[in-house]
């Protein structure tokens, strides 16, 4: 039986079932780079402060680098009985360089060690997610630039509402992604705080230099309370919460792609590369990738509830329950990155169908609001203009026509304010062009938005 670091206190060895049940190495071994990076910085600090001899520090660092190469090449002998990534590396270090390897754990605990590893890991993953958000945002901007003259129906309640530019619709998602980027940047600030030096929760009597370690590891600040340093995981909760918000927006984009690819809408072709067929129906072309992004959103929501529930009843400071924080963190990272990567490629290859979009926006009386606005500009109170337009819509439906197909003389029966100039305004292009209010769908506005967004994104 393997001797544990705490074995001196116990008369009996850990039961084999308890050994297996409590082991986390299969989950946390992916933190090996962060664990070794943190250990090298810690070893440098121990040597600098004289807590251990510099020659000992150098031997430890050399051994750690050799262990990293072993893990990267698949030669490292991971052992479940050593429980986690920390003890696996520490035991291997002692095997390689002798008892001096045991000095590495001076002035630290696995409690502050794992908190450091996870912060290092999340910091790097957030940077990758931010890069993917930027790439998706650029993709949307490029699509908007390419489809400046395509008009489509804006929907409310999934009913055709008003004409808008497709580019304006795409820019709505750009705005959502901009806010998500801001959330991840804010989250990263709270992740990027160095906890090492808190020990098990009470600090350490050794003359450590936490600021030196923070500098080596690129942390701009260190945690201020040793108990809080090891006992909270709100930085993980915030990351998974921020990821949940991002996934919600990716799911909404995906939902529209699912709808738009149906025969009922027929606004887009997602391409053979991002669709699948049916095992029984030969004609099918299913938007499975978009559906899976939509479905995986539920996973991330579940990970958030998992971590929140994990932490909600824990007294200070560290509790073994917190070993369960890593799996939802890892799986959130994996899910978010994979969804961003596939959505980027799908959007790069999407084919819009402008004729079908225009056909859809031509039907459904989508110019009714323009007619009401016209009457209001003529001095009719808007509520009265709204009622008059509603009567015109009802009349047009009885005739089996769209309101723009009615003659001016026919429209005059509903209001004497209607004149010949209405015909110049009551069309799709006129409707879109008229929406010049800041943030509106006019081409003039959209071109300005694209230009400003491209200038901004160049600084991301």
Percent of the chain predicted with pLDDT > 90: 82
Looking at the structure, do residues 421 and 335 belong to the same domain, yes or no?
no
When pLDDT is averaged across residues 137-145 and rounded to a whole number, the result is 98
Percent of the chain predicted with pLDDT > 70: 95
Looking at the structure, do residues 264 and 127 belong to the same domain, yes or no?
yes
Q: Is the pTM of this model over 0.85?
A: yes
Looking at the structure, do residues 304 and 348 belong to the same domain, yes or no?
yes
Looking at the structure, do residues 351 and 381 belong to the same domain, yes or no?
no
In this structure, the chain runs to a length of: 460
Looking at the structure, do residues 68 and 139 belong to the same domain, yes or no?
no
Q: Between β-strands 268-269 and 351-352, what pairing exists: parallel, antiparallel or unpaired?
A: antiparallel
Looking at the structure, do residues 237 and 95 belong to the same domain, yes or no?
no
* Lowest-pLDDT choice from 3-17, 131-145, 237-251, 348-362: 3-17
- The catalytic residue among 157, 279, 407, 458 is 157
Looking at the structure, do residues 255 and 339 belong to the same domain, yes or no?
yes
Active site annotation includes 278:
yes
- The catalytic residue among 147, 244, 278, 317 is 278
Picking from 356, 375, 404, the residue at the C-terminal end of a domain is 356
Taking the C-alpha atoms of residue 139 and residue 120, their distance in angstroms, rounded to an integer, is 29
Active site annotation includes 157:
yes
Count of domains forming the chain? 3
Buried b / exposed e over 385-394, threshold 16 CB at 10 Å, is bbebbeebbe
Residue 17 pLDDT grade (very low, low, confident, very high; cuts 50, 70, 90): confident
Taking the C-alpha atoms of residue 121 and residue 132, their distance in angstroms, rounded to an integer, is 17
For the domain that residue 17 is a member of, what is the CATH number? 1.10.275.10
Give the model confidence (pLDDT) of 142-184 as tens digits. Answer: 999 999 999 999 999 999 999 999 999 999 999 999 999 999 9
When pLDDT is averaged across residues 400-414 and rounded to a whole number, the result is 90
When pLDDT is averaged across residues 76-102 and rounded to a whole number, the result is 92
Looking at the structure, do residues 383 and 446 belong to the same domain, yes or no?
yes
Does any domain span residue 154? no
Domain extent, residue 306, equals 116-149+163-204+218-356
Q: What is the 3-state secondary structure (H, E, C) of 316-359?
A: CCCCHHHHHHHHHHHHHHHHHHHHHHHHHHHHHHCEECHHHHHH
Instruction: Read off the tokens for 26.
Output: 């299969």
Does any domain span residue 64? yes
Give the model confidence (pLDDT) of 346-374 as tens digits. Answer: 999 999 999 999 999 998 899 999 999 99
Looking at the structure, do residues 19 and 134 belong to the same domain, yes or no?
no
Residue 67 pLDDT > 90, yes or no? yes
Of residues 443 and 25, more confidence is placed in 443
């Amino acid at each position: 039986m393997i001797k544990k670091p705490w074995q001196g206190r116990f008369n009996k060895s850990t039961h084999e079932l308890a050994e297996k049940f409590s082991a986390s190495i299969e989950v946390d071994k992916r933190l090996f780079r962060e664990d070794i990076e943190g250990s090298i910085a810690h070893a440098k600090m121990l040597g600098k402060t004289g807590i251990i001899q510099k020659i000992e520090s150098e031997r430890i660092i050399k051994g750690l680098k050799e262990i990293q190469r072993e893990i990267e090449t698949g030669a490292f002998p991971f052992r479940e009985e050593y429980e986690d990534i920390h003890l696996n590396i520490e035991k291997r270090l002692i095997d390689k360089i002798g008892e001096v390897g045991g000095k590495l754990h001076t002035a630290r605990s696995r409690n502050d060690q794992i908190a450091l590893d996870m912060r290092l890991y999340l910091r790097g993953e957030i940077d990758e997610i931010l890069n993917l958000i930027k790439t998706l945002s650029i993709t949307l901007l490029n699509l908007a630039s390419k489809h400046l003259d395509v008009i489509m129906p804006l929907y409310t309640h999934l009913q055709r509402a008003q004409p808008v530019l497709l580019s304006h619709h795409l820019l709505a998602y750009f705005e959502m992604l901009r806010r998500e980027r801001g959330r991840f940047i804010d989250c990263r600030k709270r992740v990027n705080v160095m906890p090492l030096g808190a020990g098990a929760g009470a600090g350490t009597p050794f003359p450590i230099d936490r600021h030196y370690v923070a500098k080596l590891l690129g942390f701009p600040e260190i945690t201020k309370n040793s108990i809080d340093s090891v006992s909270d995981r709100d930085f993980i909760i915030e990351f998974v919460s921020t990821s949940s918000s991002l996934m919600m927006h990716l799911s909404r984009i995906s939902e529209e792609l699912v709808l738009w690819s149906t025969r009922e809408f027929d606004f887009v072709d997602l391409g053979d590369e991002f669709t699948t067929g049916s095992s029984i129906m030969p004609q099918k072309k299913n938007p499975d990738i978009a559906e899976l992004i939509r479905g995986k959103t539920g996973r991330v929501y579940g990970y958030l509830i998992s971590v929140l529930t994990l932490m909600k009843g824990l007294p200070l400071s560290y509790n073994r329950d917190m070993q369960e924080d890593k799996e939802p963190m890892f799986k959130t990272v994996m899910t978010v990155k994979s969804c961003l990567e596939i959505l980027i490629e799908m959007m790069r290859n999407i084919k819009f169908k402008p004729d079908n979009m225009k056909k859809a926006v031509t039907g459904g009386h989508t110019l009714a609001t323009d007619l009401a606005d016209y009457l209001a500009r003529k001095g009719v109170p808007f509520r009265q203009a709204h009622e008059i337009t509603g009567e015109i819509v009802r009349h047009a439906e009885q005739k089996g026509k769209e309101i723009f197909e009615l003659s001016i003389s026919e429209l005059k029966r509903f209001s004497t304010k209607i004149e010949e100039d209405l015909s110049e305004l009551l069309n799709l292009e006129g409707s879109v062009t008229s929406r010049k209010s800041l943030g509106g769908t006019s081409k003039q506005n959209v071109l300005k938005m694209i230009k400003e967004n491209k200038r901004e994104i160049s600084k991301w």
